[in-house]
Amino acid sequence: MTLETVVEKIKDKGSLSDAIGSFYDAAHSYSSNMAGYRSNFPALDNTLEGLQKGLILLGGRSHHGKTMWFVNYLFALARNNKDVTVVFFSIDDDKDIIANRLLSMSSILPMKYTKNVNKVYHNPDFTEVQKEMFQKNYANHKRIIENIRNFKLFDAGDGRSLQFILDTAHEIREKHGKIILAIDNFHNISHDIRNENERFSDISGKLKDFATNTETPVICTAKLRKAEFDGGYFRRPNIDQIKNSVDIQFDATVILGIYSHYIATDKASDLYENFRGTTAPIVEIHVLKNKQGDCHKYFYYDLKGAFALVEERDPDTFEEHKAYIDNYKAKNSG
């Protein structure tokens, strides 16, 4: 084969013209004013332009509301985007825990009652009318959730290996079309590479490849390194705190950090609300990385833990909450 033949064969490979043309066509193809999928968190949606294809990570410490926020976000994506199937691998929690959270957050009934209805039926503090209302509300939301066909739920009992997750995602995508692949959590995915850093590097690379090749959002929760303290309390998450983060942070399109100042300060913070007799910490989502738009923005949510419910706060309060956390160390030092 002559040099001229080789040049002729490869001269159109990697064409900038093709890339620009493909991007231009996609830019005119969206059916709404948002490039990705909407949730029930409009301020975050506007910053991310919706959930788009790529590897998205949500990093945070235990007990800061990571999984609860994640489940609320995923369920909202399923309810607001009927043309896509959410495929959720709950590696950390079994299906019963997720089912209870879905029923509680949808009905706004406390999880202790949705898990064990005898706490209502045999409780002398509840009137018969209240018990009847509880049953109607509970049964109604059970029917609503059962009719949501575009939310698929798997737990560790089904499988937790990377190969199982990818094979299942491919199968559901072939059957149902567009999907959102969600995993709780990234660091509990099993894989046949023994070295930890190499294992997670390979997992993130393969998840990124899946996202790119199938134009799919792949969103995972992620663990942080050992606790870092600042003035006696946990610091906010940053990219470098994500475990085994060197390759992971490069593969990710978007990285979010979740943080509860109320939990980080051992409940000394004022960032909480009272909701139906329970404490609802105000949790922070920080956009640590965003290749698709704005970065380093902060969003705040009411974490109504007894009801497994997360709701975005009024954006007018965001700066106030951020300033409170920024100034907390100075106010409480000495």
Instruction: Say if strands 233-234 and 272-275 run parallel, antiparallel, or are unpaired.
Output: unpaired
Range of the domain at 90: 35-332
- pTM (predicted TM-score): 0.88
Residue 131 belongs to some domain of the structure? yes
Share of the chain above pLDDT 90, in %: 75
Please report, for the domain that includes residue 75, its CATH number: 3.40.50.300
Q: Is residue 8 part of a domain?
A: no
Q: What is the mean pLDDT of residues 296-312?
A: 97
Higher pLDDT, 51 or 240: 51
Confidence of residue 293 (pLDDT cuts 50, 70, 90): confident
Domains contained in the chain, number: 1
Give a yes or no: residue 179 inside a domain.
yes
| DSSP, res 57 | E
Give the confidence band of 109 by pLDDT, cuts at 50, 70, 90: very high
- Examine the pLDDT at 7 and tell me if it is beyond 50: no
3-state secondary structure of 290: strand
Specify if 16 maps to a domain.
Answer: no
pLDDT surpasses 90 at 334: no
Residue 233 contacts residue 282 (beta carbons within 8 Å):
no
* Residue 18 belongs to some domain of the structure: no
- Least confident range of 8-12, 59-63, 106-110, 321-325: 8-12
Asked whether residue 12 is assigned to any structural domain, the reply reads: no
Nearest to 284 by CA among 295, 292, 272: 272
